[in-house]
């Protein structure tokens, strides 16, 4: 066995209210593909950010070639040959491929950027990643898959020995994914080590030499070779019996609360979506990231105006032109991006919970009913068990789970008839996750209609009465509770045949 | 909302700065700073600029900016002056359209109402004017499409004239007997029209120069009391009663100004929310457009309210006397060192301290703004939109309406400020009036703790910020700091204040993270 290229010893990192990483150690050999898996909030992203110099660790050591190092900046990490390729690509759309590859390190001649040299060298690296485009192509014109190749070429240009890829396939088509996998294999042969992070277990299984599982910020288990099986990965990640984690009880299902009739969203103008949600029903909306689920919720909630189609709420056809109107119709949305859309992060818990009901509870002449706001807040803090020192605490100092509960509290204080949830457990620790599932369950039993988007298959399978699956802007299927399993969802989410290809 | 603690800390910080500055002024220049007059001035200036500061604070809290304030102040002031323009028109005045020497006639509009024997006052310009008597009233004929009547007059006109265009050749109006004139009191013949306060009488005579007098009030019976005496006047004169005709009444004029600035504010809001134009650009264009409009509307002439000294002038210079009298005076003790003390007795030169009326308007604005921003739904929505517009929208707030509301409020307060400044200065030069006021307002708001990132800021902070700015200005005058350095000093103090605030915030964050 060769020497370890990169070693990590007892790395820890905390954020206010959250222990993101606790005493995590791992090692990476040259020319190895190591996958790091774990649920959301397990600490994968934090670990990778520390390795890439995006943020410092609180404690712990990093060894490169057996020498102790520490990275204060991404630049320092890069100098050691560690490059992080983000989920969202870091390229300048308006520059060409060559300029992007050499951004900040342009070869110069008498102080003037030497474009010829850039193009010549770029071609070399593009060749290594197997991308046949001219270095003079503007990056914005390339597909996401090709842009990712450019990003990798850029990494190679700084002599990257460790490539960290964070969910690289999340926005790729299956064809693009396939060529990425080929590239990864060829890089491995060139001696480049790869740390691969993905939720897609099929990919992980196909690519990895070794898999490290993180759970709740701690090192959990390592899987090598034959141990890398789907069930091993799932059980290590979740760490408990899945059926108990999602504790479902049957309850009666009532009238249709929401009926979506041939709704076309501005993002997917060619496809329309029809679905319905009944009172007391928990309906999942599964699919890959970027399949149009968030856009559908946005259109239902009046954030984007649909191009065509209409909504029926409680049997009446309604036009919803703004979130305000949606709220007036008894609809609530817990958005995916909690910090940008869900909360006003600089305001207190009370201000956030009270904000939606300000108008509703106002006295004559528009004065705020502070008593009501305070009592609503107290009720929600108690009911949702929001862990906060006081209702005056600024929301940004709460943990992700408690922030999410604040968002939920804001809407529950409005007693909506229909609750739309977009990735409700993203960035939430495992304990809060379970509480949110219980809450959803309880709300449904109180005959609230619930439509939730989730990229976690376990979650969709665990709590839905029924689920719709989306693929590239259209519904590819509807699954009953009895039909729900990973395979059936993935088949619909990737539109059948492509799944087989990914799985080999 | 939200970080209430830091908000209070900010106000405390800037208030300390203000107090320190006052101490310096009292220490360095007590004899000029502590006079009732100077303090009143400080209050008045703070009130005027403070109204603008509160206006722009709403916009800044909504995370926008308004650069058009100075020009809008000017536009509001010019509009007010134009709306309050006054015409003095002789009662029953008619236009003259034709003059014929041949048969000694002049032609006037047919509905003149003159009869044979009337003595009339003819006025064309300084040289062509005089009393004429109607000898005969002729028939009605047509001239250039107008119905005119011919009057034979004595003395006969000097040369033929014919108005072929729309402009009349002069004006002619009735005159009335002066039955009595004594001192400043006069009585006109009984069928003369009623005259009121501020109307005028032009006393005319066949050989004397005419004199214009202002009516102060009605006396007993038909008697009129004039504002001044004139020993040259007597009952030989004839009187041309002149009515004061304002274009608009004061309340209507002010309401109209508010209506116009309010619509401009709504237009700003709509351009920013619906067309998604940047506030900086929209209001920068406003700055240019309103300045140009003001100059065009007034022909670039200085305008004012000379006719309204007793009403508007009173509001501008008026003050509510507190009953407290004082004055700092110099004492020269035996050892020769300069010292000073305050005397409280008018016999020793103390003066009455009064609070300018404009300060009460300011107080009303402050209280209303504080209530609006903190206790009403719209105020809370405004703060939420400023903090995070997207999250506010996702919470069911009509962010477009709220943003537009902020620009409306700013425009209305700017209008109010414009009216106050206009009345206060009484002389509005449209090319320079209000220049840089937007920057003073923004500076005061920023100094008072408003963040241009939006969401942060308090009305009280803006008030203290304005007071600080005005005190700075005051100290530049009193401490005899070169005038040219005014902007430099104000700029430096704002920079110091804002940097200090940011530093305190960083330290607080560090402290907090250490604690966690």
Contact across the interface for A368 and B380, Cβ inside 8 Å: yes
Using 50, 70 and 90 to split pLDDT, how confident is the model at B431?
very high
**Which class for A271: exposed (0-12), middle (13-18), buried (19 or more C-beta within 10 A)?**
middle
> Which of B376, B455, B516 is nearest residue A16 as measured by Cβ atoms?
B516
Task: Please report where in the chains the tokens 């200085």 appear, as a residue.
Answer: B302
Q: Report the mean per-residue pLDDT for chain A.
A: 86
Residue B516 contacts A, CB cutoff 8 Å = yes
Contact across the interface for B376 and A367, Cβ inside 8 Å: yes
Same domain (yes/no): B226, B366: no
Residue B231 contacts A, CB cutoff 8 Å = no
Least CA distance to B378: which residue of chain A?
Answer: A366
Q: Which of A303, A320, A355 to mutate to test the interface with B (most CBs of B within 10 A)?
A: A355
Final residue in a domain of this structure, among B209, B228, B246 = B246
Buried b (16+ CB within 10 A) or exposed e, A164-199: bbbbbbbbbeeebbbbbbebbeebbeeebbbbbbbb
What was the pLDDT predicted at B336?
Answer: 62
Q: What would the mean pLDDT of A248-275 be, rounded to a whole number?
A: 89
pTM of this structure: 0.80
Asked if pLDDT for residue B445 goes beyond 90, the answer is: yes
> Which of B378, B391, B516 is nearest residue A342 as measured by Cβ atoms?
B391
Q: Which of A15, A349, A358, A367 to mutate to test the interface with B (most CBs of B within 10 A)?
A: A358
Alpha helices in A40-95 (DSSP H): 44-51, 74-79
> Which of A355, A366, A392 is nearest residue B395 as measured by Cβ atoms?
A355
Q: SS in 3 state form for A309-332? A: EEEEECCEEECCCCHHHHHHCCEE
Contact across the interface for A358 and B380, Cβ inside 8 Å: yes
For residue B513, the distance in angstroms to the closest alpha carbon of chain A comes to 8
More confident residue, A199 or B359: B359
B179 with B189: CB under 8 angstroms? yes
Same domain (yes/no): B165, B237: yes
Residue B381 contacts A, CB cutoff 8 Å = yes
What was the pLDDT predicted at B1?
Answer: 47
> Candidates 3.40.309.10, 3.40.50.300, 2.60.40.1080, 3.10.580.10; correct CATH number of A244-330+416-503?
3.40.50.300
The torsion angles phi and psi of B106, rounded to 5 degrees, stand at -125, 150
Residue B471 three-state SS: helix
Evaluated on CA atoms A139, A142, A145, A146, the torsion sign reads negative
> Candidates 3.30.43.10, 3.40.50.20, 3.40.50.2000, 3.40.50.300; correct CATH number of A6-239?
3.40.50.300
pLDDT, one tens digit per residue, over B34-49 is 999 999 999 999 999 9
Q: Which of B372, B394, B515 to mutate to test the interface with A (most CBs of A within 10 A)?
A: B394
**Which class for B274: exposed (0-12), middle (13-18), buried (19 or more C-beta within 10 A)?**
exposed
Same domain (yes/no): B316, B430: yes
For residue A327, the distance in angstroms to the closest alpha carbon of chain B comes to 6
Same domain (yes/no): B290, B423: yes
pLDDT, one tens digit per residue, over B479-493 is 888 989 988 988 898
The gap between the terminal CA atoms of chain A, to the nearest Å, is 28
Residues above pLDDT 90, as percent of chain B = 45
Contact across the interface for B388 and A333, Cβ inside 8 Å: no
Same domain (yes/no): B212, B235: yes
Q: What would the mean pLDDT of A182-190 be, rounded to a whole number?
A: 90
pLDDT, one tens digit per residue, over A75-133 is 888 888 899 887 777 888 888 999 998 888 888 888 888 888 899 999 988 988 888 88
Q: Report the mean per-residue pLDDT for chain B.
A: 88
Within a 10 A sphere around the Cβ of B435, how many other Cβ atoms? Answer: 14
Domains identified in chain B, total number? 2
Least CA distance to B397: which residue of chain A?
Answer: A324
CA A332 to chain centre: 21
Asked if pLDDT for residue A1 goes beyond 50, the answer is: no
Omega within 30 of 0 (cis) for the link into A331: no
- Given the cut 0.90, state whether the ipTM is greater than it: no
A82 with A164: CB under 8 angstroms? yes
Q: What would the mean pLDDT of A311-339 be, rounded to a whole number?
A: 93
> Which of A341, A346, A358 is nearest residue B394 as measured by Cβ atoms?
A341
Rounded CA separation A149/A156 (Å):
10
Contact across the interface for A341 and B375, Cβ inside 8 Å: no
Same domain (yes/no): B148, B267: no
pLDDT, one tens digit per residue, over A366-405 is 999 999 999 999 999 999 999 888 899 999 888 888 999 9
Same domain (yes/no): B44, B107: no
> Which chain A residues have any C-beta within 8 angstroms of a chain B C-beta?
16-17, 301, 303, 322-324, 326-328, 333, 335, 340-348, 351, 355-356, 358-359, 362, 365-368, 392, 394, 397, 410
Asked if pLDDT for residue A502 goes beyond 80, the answer is: no
Using 50, 70 and 90 to split pLDDT, how confident is the model at A496?
low
Q: What would the mean pLDDT of B356-370 be, rounded to a whole number?
A: 96
For residue B251, the distance in angstroms to the closest alpha carbon of chain A comes to 26
Contact across the interface for B377 and A366, Cβ inside 8 Å: yes
For residue A363, the distance in angstroms to the closest alpha carbon of chain B comes to 9
> Which of A344, A362, A365 is nearest residue B384 as measured by Cβ atoms?
A344
CA A239 to chain centre: 21
Residue B514 contacts A, CB cutoff 8 Å = no
Rounded CA separation A20/A14 (Å):
5
Rounded CA separation A354/A373 (Å):
5
Same domain (yes/no): B181, B309: no
Rounded CA separation B258/B80 (Å):
10
Final residue in a domain of this structure, among B246, B272, B291 = B246
Q: Which helix (H) or strand (E) holds B100?
A: strand B94-100
Same domain (yes/no): B44, B137: no
What was the pLDDT predicted at B316?
Answer: 80
Q: Find chain B residues with C-beta within 8 A of A326's C-beta.
A: 396
pLDDT, one tens digit per residue, over A447-490 is 999 999 998 787 888 899 999 999 888 899 999 998 988 778 87
Contact across the interface for B377 and A348, Cβ inside 8 Å: no
Q: What would the mean pLDDT of B250-263 be, rounded to a whole number?
A: 96
Residue B271 contacts A, CB cutoff 8 Å = no
pLDDT, one tens digit per residue, over B83-117 is 998 888 888 888 888 888 888 888 888 777 788 88
Least CA distance to A394: which residue of chain B?
Answer: B2
Domain that holds residue B110: 88-246
Using 50, 70 and 90 to split pLDDT, how confident is the model at A328?
very high
Least CA distance to B374: which residue of chain A?
Answer: A368
**What is the total residue count of chain A?**
504
Asked if pLDDT for residue A201 goes beyond 90, the answer is: no
What was the pLDDT predicted at B244?
Answer: 87
Contact across the interface for B394 and A342, Cβ inside 8 Å: yes
Q: What would the mean pLDDT of B147-172 be, rounded to a whole number?
A: 78
Least CA distance to B384: which residue of chain A?
Answer: A344
Q: Find chain A residues with C-beta within 8 A of B394's C-beta.
A: 301, 303, 323, 333, 335, 341-342
Residue B377 contacts A, CB cutoff 8 Å = yes
What was the pLDDT predicted at B399?
Answer: 95
Give the domain CATH number at B435. 1.10.3470
Select the highest-mean-pLDDT range: A55-64, A318-327, A457-466: A318-327
For residue A103, the distance in angstroms to the closest alpha carbon of chain B comes to 30
Same domain (yes/no): B71, B174: no
Same domain (yes/no): B214, B355: no
Final residue in a domain of this structure, among B201, B225, B246 = B246
Asked if pLDDT for residue B165 goes beyond 70, the answer is: no
Residues of chain A with CATH 3.40.50.300: 6-239, 244-330+416-503
Select the highest-mean-pLDDT range: A93-102, A481-490, B4-13, B56-65: B56-65
Rounded CA separation B457/B467 (Å):
16
Same domain (yes/no): B445, B381: yes
Using 50, 70 and 90 to split pLDDT, how confident is the model at B514?
low
What was the pLDDT predicted at A2?
Answer: 54
């Amino acid at each position: 066995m060769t020497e370890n290229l990169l070693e990590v010893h007892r790395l820890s990192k905390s954020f206010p209210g959250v222990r993101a990483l606790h005493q995590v150690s791992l090692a990476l050999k040259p020319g190895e593909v190591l996958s790091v898996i774990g649920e959301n909030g397990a600490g994968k992203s934090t670990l990778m950010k520390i390795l890439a110099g995006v943020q410092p660790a609180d404690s712990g050591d990093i060894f490169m070639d057996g020498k102790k190092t520490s990275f204060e900046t991404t630049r320092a990490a890069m100098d050691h040959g560690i490059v992080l390729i983000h989920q969202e690509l870091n390229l300048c759309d308006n520059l060409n491929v060559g300029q992007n590859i050499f951004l900040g390190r342009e070869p110069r001649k008498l102080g003037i950027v030497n474009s010829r040299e850039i193009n010549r060298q770029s071609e070399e690296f593009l060749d290594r990643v197997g991308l046949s485009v001219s270095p003079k192509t503007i990056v914005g014109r390339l597909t996401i898959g090709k842009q990712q190749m450019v990003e990798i070429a850029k990494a190679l240009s700084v002599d990257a020995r460790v490539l960290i890829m964070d969910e690289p396939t999340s926005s790729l088509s299956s064809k693009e994914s396939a060529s990425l996998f080929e590239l990864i294999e060829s890089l491995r042969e060139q001696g480049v080590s790869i740390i691969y992070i993905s939720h897609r277990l099929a990919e992980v299984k196909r690519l990895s030499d070794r898999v490290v599982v993180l759970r709740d910020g701690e090192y959990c288990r390592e899987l090598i070779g034959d141990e890398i099986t789907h069930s091993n990965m799932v059980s290590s990640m979740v760490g408990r019996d899945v059926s108990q984690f999602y504790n479902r009880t049957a309850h009666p299902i009532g009238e249709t609360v929401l009926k979506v009739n041939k709704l076309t969203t501005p993002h997917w103008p060619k496809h329309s979506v029809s679905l319905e949600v009944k009172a007391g029903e928990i309906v999942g909306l599964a699919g890959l990231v970027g399949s149009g689920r968030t856009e559908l919720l946005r259109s239902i909630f009046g954030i984007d105006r649909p191009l065509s189609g209409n909504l029926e709420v409680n049997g009446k056809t309604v036009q919803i032109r703004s979130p305000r109107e949606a709220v007036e119709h008894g609809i609530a949305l817990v958005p995916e991006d909690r910090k940008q859309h869900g909360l006003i992060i600089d305001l207190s818990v009370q201000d956030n919970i009270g904000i939606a009901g300000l108008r509703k509870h106002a006295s004559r002449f528009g004065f705020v009913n502070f008593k009501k706001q305070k009592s609503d807040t107290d009720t929600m803090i108690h009911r949702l068990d929001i862990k906060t020192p006081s209702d005056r605490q600024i929301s940004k100092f709460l943990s992700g789970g408690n922030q999410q509960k604040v968002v939920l509290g804001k809407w529950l204080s409005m007693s909506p008839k229909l609750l739309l949830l977009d990735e409700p457990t993203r960035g939430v620790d495992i304990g809060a996750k379970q509480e949110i599932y219980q809450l959803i369950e309880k709300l449904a039993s109180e005959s609230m209609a619930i439509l939730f988007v989730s990229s976690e298959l376990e979650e969709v399978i665990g709590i839905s009465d029924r689920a719709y699956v989306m693929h590239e802007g259209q519904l590819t299927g509807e699954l009953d509770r009895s039909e729900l399993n990973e395979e059936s969802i993935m088949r619909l989410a990737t539109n059948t045949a492509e799944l087989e290809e990914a799985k080999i | 909302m939200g970080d209430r603690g830091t908000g209070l800390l900010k106000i405390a910080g800037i208030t300390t700065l203000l107090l320190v500055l006052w101490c310096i002024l009292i220490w360095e220049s007590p004899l000029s700073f502590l006079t009732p007059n100077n303090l009143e001035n400080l209050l008045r200036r703070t009130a005027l600029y403070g109204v603008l500061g509160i206006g722009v604070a709403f916009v800044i809290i909504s995370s926008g900016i308004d650069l058009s304030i100075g020009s809008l102040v000017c536009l509001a002031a010019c509009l007010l002056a134009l709306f309050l323009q006054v015409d003095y028109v002789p009662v029953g005045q008619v236009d003259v359209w034709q003059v014929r020497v041949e048969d000694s006639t002049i032609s006037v509009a047919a509905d003149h109402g003159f009869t044979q024997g009337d003595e009339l006052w003819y006025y064309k310009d300084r040289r062509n004017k005089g009393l004429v008597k109607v000898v005969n009233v002729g028939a009605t004929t047509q001239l250039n499409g107008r119905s005119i009547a011919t009057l034979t007059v004595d003395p006969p006109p000097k040369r033929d004239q014919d108005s072929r265009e729309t402009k009349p050749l002069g004006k002619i109006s009735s005159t009335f007997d002066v039955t009595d004139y004594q001192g400043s009191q006069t009585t006109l013949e009984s069928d003369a029209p009623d005259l009121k306060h501020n109307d005028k009488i032009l006393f005319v005579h066949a050989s004397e120069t005419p004199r214009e007098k202002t009516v102060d009030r009605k006396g007993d019976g038909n008697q009129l009391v004039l504002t001044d005496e004139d020993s040259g006047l007597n009952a030989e004169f004839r009187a041309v009663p002149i009515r004061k005709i304002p274009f608009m009444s004061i309340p209507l004029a002010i309401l109209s100004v508010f209506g116009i600035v309010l619509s401009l504010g709504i237009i700003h809001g709509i351009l920013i929310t619906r067309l998604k134009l940047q506030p900086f650009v929209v209001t920068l264009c406003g700055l240019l457009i309103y300045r140009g409009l003001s100059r065009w509307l007034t022909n670039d002439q200085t305008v004012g309210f000379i006719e309204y000294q007793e009403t508007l002038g009173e509001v501008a210079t008026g003050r509510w006397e507190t009953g407290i009298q004082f004055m700092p005076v110099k004492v020269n003790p035996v050892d020769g060192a300069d010292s000073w003390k305050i005397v409280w007795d008018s016999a020793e030169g103390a003066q009455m301290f009064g609070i300018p009326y404009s300060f009460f308007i300011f107080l009303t604005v402050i209280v209303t703004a504080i209530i609006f921003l903190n206790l009403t739904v719209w105020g809370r929505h405004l703060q939420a939109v400023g903090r995070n517009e997207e999250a506010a929208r996702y919470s069911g707030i009509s962010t477009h309406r709220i943003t537009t509301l902020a620009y409306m409020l700013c425009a209305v307060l700017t209008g109010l400020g414009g009216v106050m400044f206009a009345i206060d200065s009484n002389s509005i030069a449209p090319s320079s009036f209000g220049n840089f006021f937007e920057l003073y307002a923004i500076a005061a708001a920023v100094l008072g703790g408003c963040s241009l990132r939006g969401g942060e800021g308090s009305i009280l902070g803006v008030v203290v910020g304005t007071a600080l700015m005005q005190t700075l200005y005051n100290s530049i005058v009193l401490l005899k700091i070169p005038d040219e350095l005014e902007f430099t000093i104000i700029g430096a103090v704002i920079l110091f204040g804002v940097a200090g605030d940011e530093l305190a915030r960083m330290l607080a964050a560090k402290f907090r993270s250490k604690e966690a």
